[in-house]
Amino acid sequence: MRLVLGIESSCDETAAALVTPDRVIVAQRIASQDDAHRPYGGVVPEIAARAHAERLTPLIAATLADAGKTLADVDAIAATAGPGLIGGVMVGLVTAKALAMAGGKPLLAINHLEGHALSPRLADPTLAFPYLLLLASGGHCQLLLVEGVGQYRRLATTIDDALGEAFDKTAKILALGFPGGPAVERLAREGNPRAVPLPRPLLGSAEPHFSFAGLKSAVLRAKEAAIHADADLAASFQQAAIDCVIDRTRRALAAAGEVTALVVAGGVAANQSVRAALESLAAQHALRFVAPPQVLCTDNAAMIAWAGIERMEQSGWTLSDPLDFAARPRWPL
């Protein structure tokens, strides 16, 4: 069985994984840098790049050791080549190039967004194209029509903040720490989602995109007004954000035509209320709802290896990206 090594370093997770074409994640390791960034309340690119540089090589060695494999057993090396924080992306890509060169293996320069877009198929072999994917993380908020390997249509993106970023900023306003999404969700459980009147940017708009900056500013003003309990603010923020997500996703479903499923990925997919709202939207459209396991929703290297495998299978295992492939801070699908 063929084996692909995946490497991910585009944000604040340093990750390596070994994946086979029959969807077995033979080994994977993810080193989170949350502790390093927590004092700053957000990801600091310089700190992230340095941490990737220190951790990646031992992490790859440990991942290979977990599987009882060596570089010689690997058939290709897939690394995130963008988009993301450029210092971190360069660390991962340069490491992959060195391993590819040393081992005489094909290099696969993977678009991180393609990794997210195809990851649901790693978890679920029955998931067929085309499907509509909501990708909602700290860095991205997009609706993608996934029509096939290499065939992605971006139906919507955010014109300001990503959804996870809005959760993180709300957490900061409410002094809940970093990363903020899970803390906001926990506090929201104790609050009334209708207590605080908050805006729902672009709700009902013919414009396809997302916007969360106005919502975040409204949370800040409401906090400064000091009228409402923090739990009510958290719950009302979460409800407003969900209303926006559902409205935008409903619009994209209408624009997408026939799809086999509604799929969610990205860190925000961990949010139970977001999931429940999407599940009910899918049910209204008589669609399957697919949410991959959390470890595949947040940044990981298995999805990068898997995107490499999907591209390799499409090419009959003849593909190899050039060794001078440059890291890309921006790389729309």
Residues that bind Zn ion (CB under 5 A): 137, 299
By CB under 6 A, tell whether 292 contacts ligand KG4.
Answer: no
Least Å distance, CB 143 to Zn ion, is 15
Question: Are 103 and 30 spatial neighbours (Cβ–Cβ below 8 Å)?
Answer: no
According to the annotation, is 134 in a ligand binding site?
A: no
Residue 266 engages ligand KG4 in binding (rule: CB under 6 A):
yes
Binding mask 270-289 toward ligand KG4 (x if CB under 6 A, else -) reads: xx------------------
Q: How far apart (Å, rounded) are the C-alpha atoms in residues 145 and 252?
A: 9
Q: Taking contact as CB under 6 A, which single stretch among the options 134-142, 143-151, 189-197, 202-210 is the one that binds ligand KG4?
A: 134-142
Strand partners, 204: none
179 binds, among ligand KG4, Zn ion, none (CB under 5 to 8 A by kind): ligand KG4
114 lines the binding site for ligand KG4 (CB under 6 A): no
Q: Is 116 annotated as a binding residue?
A: yes
Question: Considering the rule CB under 6 A, would residue 139 count as an interface residue with ligand KG4?
Answer: yes
Asked whether residue 267 is marked as a ligand-binding residue, the answer is no
**Shortest approach of ligand KG4 to residue 110 CB, angstroms?**
14
* 206 annotated as a binding-site residue: no
Considering beta carbons, is residue 25 or 287 the nearer one to Zn ion?
Answer: 25
Q: Is 10 annotated as a binding residue?
A: no
Q: Least distance from C-beta 179 to Zn ion, angstroms?
A: 13
Of residues 164 through 203, those in contact with ligand KG4 by CB under 6 A are 164-165, 167-168, 179-182, 185
According to the annotation, is 204 in a ligand binding site? no
d(CA 148, CA 37): 37
- Binding-site residue positions for Fe cation: 112, 116, 299
Contacts to ligand KG4 by CB under 6 A: 11, 137-139, 164-165, 167-168, 179-182, 185, 266-268, 270-271, 298-299
